[in-house]
Amino acid sequence: MAEVIQEHIDLLIRPSSGTTKTYRTMLDLHIGNVIGYLPWTSWITD
């Protein structure tokens, strides 16, 4: 899951380097350690 969120951050339209760094930090601090280990397919439902 963390890789999918990281890819989304990287693909944002024209983010400044500061914005990208801030988003990556927030991912590391608040998301990656909570759900980052889950495969993104576990979030898909039929």
Residue range 1-46, pLDDT digits in tens:
788 888 888 887 777 889 888 988 988 888 777 776 777 676 666 5
Say if CB 36 and CB 2 are below 8 A apart: yes
Q: Which residue has the tokens 């397919």?
A: 41
- At 46 the pLDDT is 57
pLDDT value of position 6? 83
- What's the pTM? 0.52
Domain boundaries defined on the chain = 2-43
Contact between residue 27 and residue 12 where contact means Cβ atoms under 8 Å apart: no
Cα distances (angstroms) measured from residue 22 to each of 2, 19, 39, 46 = 15, 5, 24, 34
